[in-house]
Each structure stands twice: as C-alpha cells, then as structure tokens.
Amino acid sequence: MRVLIVDDSPVSRMLLRAVLEGEGYEVDEASTGEEALQLLTTLTPDIVTMDVHMPGMDGYEATERILEQYALPVVILSASVDHQASATAMRALEAGALAVLEKPSGPNAVDFGERIAIILRTLRSMAQVKIVRRKRRSPDVAAVGAPPLVVQAVSGIPQLVAISASAGGPMAIKALLQHLQPQQQWSLVLVQHIAPGFLPSFRDWLASLTSMPVLVAERGQRLQPGTLYLAPDGHHLGFASDRCVNLDDSPPEDHVRPAANHLFRSVARYFGRQAIGIQLSGMGRDGAQGLAQLHQTGALTLVQEPATAVVDSMPRAAIDMQAASQVLPPEGIAELLNTIAVHMNVVNGSKGRE
C-alpha cells in the first residue's frame, strides 16, 4: 500500500513514516496542501492522511481539492480535539473525508500503541474504498411523491426517524438536513461512526445545518419531537419499553459501538410501524440486518441511492438484504419525509374537524 502523508510538522511526518514503513508501506510526504496537489500530478497513492492545520491551504480545503480532482480516500489526522481543529475536521468530513482520528502525541505517550493500532486498522480498511465522484442527479420527483409510501408511513403515525451513517455519512446528512422542512413532527436519532472525542464538534456542526435542537442522547431521556439526538461515544443507543433512551456498553458489533444494527433492532422492537429507518453512506454492513428487521414490522425504510454515496457498502448491504422500501438520494429522502409530514397534517386536521 502506498500512503501520502500531508502534514506541516516534520516530527509528525517522521513518526508516521517510521510506523508505516515498519508495516511495509510505501510512503510519500507533503508539508502543505499545495505540495500535496502538485505531488498527485505524478503519483497515485492508495490513501492520503491529512493534517488539519497547515500554512496556506488547510486540511479542509486540501481534502476538498483532492477529492474533486483525484477521488482518493482521505483520512484526517488531527493533533488535538480542540474546538478549532475539530471544526476544520468536521468540514473535511463534510467534503468527503472518510474518517477523522486523533494523532498520537509521541512514542512515550501512554496510549501510543493503541492510537497507532487504530490508525493502521483504519488506513488498511479505508484504502480498499473506491471513491467515485459523480455529479449528483436531481431527486426523482415521481419517486419522492409515491403515494403508496406516503400512505404506508402516515398510517403508522411515525413517532421516530432513526438514521445510520458511517464513512461519507456527513455529506449525506448535510444534504438530508438542509432539505428537511423545519418543525419536524417526530424525533430523530442518529448513529454516526466517528472517532471518540470528536462528537461535541460533530454535534455543533450539525446544529449549524438545521434549526432543530441537536443533543447527545442521555440514559432515561424521553425524546422530544423536532429534536435530533446523537448516540454518545462508546455506547450503543436503543430504547426501553417506555420508549425512553437506553444506553448500552455491551461489546461492539461489527467492530463499532455505537452500532446501527443495535439501534434499528431496538427501534423495530419498541416502535415498529411508528418509525422510519434511514441507511446512509458507509463502509461495511452495519445497519443492514437491523434495517431489514425494522422493514419486516411494516415500517418505512429508506436507503441512500448507492450512486450518490461517497462509500456505498452500507447502502448496498441494506439493498441486498431487501431492507429498503425505497432507494433515494439524500435530498429525495428529505422530500419524502416532508411529503409525509404534509399528509400527516392533513389527516390530523381532518380528525380535528370531525
């Protein structure tokens, strides 16, 4: 595997090079985003590691340019999880970076071995992702307004929208949130695979995209309509019999915690047809089995169209398991939710006049 390290710190580059070459990888280096773009005119790495703060072009802009021009997998390595660094890292995820990780401070750090193991594992898996940049087509209006789907959802009187995403998910989530009408009638919960420590910045970034409150879910919490809840670091998010939040620190599923499968299974058990499930961009199969279980209850289940996903593994896994009521781009999913909300208002208005 060939890795391009983009980092303005010679010490960080030297450390990462030593680790990667020790694993048998070929390594190239760039000290700025501009230098990285110049190197990419003559070399083709399997993956790029990107620092956040660099002179001139920062990690967000460099990531955006690389993905536009070369469609290479990019993993963000941040020296800290402070607000400024994390905000830039979130923008890089928005641009299509596959993951954000915290860099080890040095060989003498207590957690050095653990952080290096995470970086190596992430690079090995993300280097296998084929990034294809396509011009996104407009949502299929006929599909969005499909009456059977609207009738199916409205008849269940949905109380919850459960969403899962992983690599490439922030880009899809942004498109979804920005096309949703304000004052959602249901609660929304999101499981997004993200490195520990970056959740507060991810929450703040989401809050900048929508007028609805964005909160990290707490054990025993009763969900409120029109609010987006995030699974906290290191816990599976599910529900109890009273539909209050239940947080679970049981072992990871498919190497992740929180896991989308755990969320969807719990939603299927306690909400059934009164829920809507959404599977967005991501690597692996997490969420497919749980979404299929939710689909079997009669709930409306929506899967991102693979051609619009930065990483299409999770959407394709759900489709392969016949877990999707409909396959749509994120904007189309939002428009379908908007249409369902309008029809629910009509039904509720009619009941109020009876």
Q: What is the pLDDT of residues 186-242, one digit of tens each?
A: 999 999 999 888 999 999 999 999 999 999 999 999 999 999 999 999 999 999 999
Distance CA 192, CA 208 (A): 17
To the query of whether residue 7 is one of the catalytic residues in this protein, the response is no
Among the listed residues 7, 46, 51, 286, the single catalytic one is: 286
Domains of the chain and CATH, by start = 2-126 (3.40.50.2300), 141-353 (3.40.50.180)
pLDDT, tens only, 63-122: 989 988 888 999 999 876 666 667 778 888 988 899 999 888 788 888 899 989 999 999
| Secondary structure class of 84 (helix, strand, coil) | helix
> Model confidence at 156, in pLDDT bands (50, 70, 90)?
confident
To the query of whether residue 286 is one of the catalytic residues in this protein, the response is yes
- In order, the DSSP letters of 250-289 are PPPBTTBSS-HHHHHHHHHHHTGGGEEEEE-S-SSSTTHH
Beta bridge partners of 4: 28, 48
- In order, the DSSP letters of 306-335 are GGG-SS-HHHHHHHHTT--SEEE-HHHHHH
Contact 98, 89 (CB under 8 A): no
Q: How many CB atoms lie within 10 A of CB 21?
A: 12
Among the listed residues 86, 193, 312, 313, the single catalytic one is: 193
Strand duo 245-248 + 236-239: pairing: antiparallel
Residue 236: predicted pLDDT: 98
To the query of whether residue 193 is one of the catalytic residues in this protein, the response is yes
Distance CA 267, CA 26 (A): 45
Among the listed residues 78, 86, 166, 325, the single catalytic one is: 166
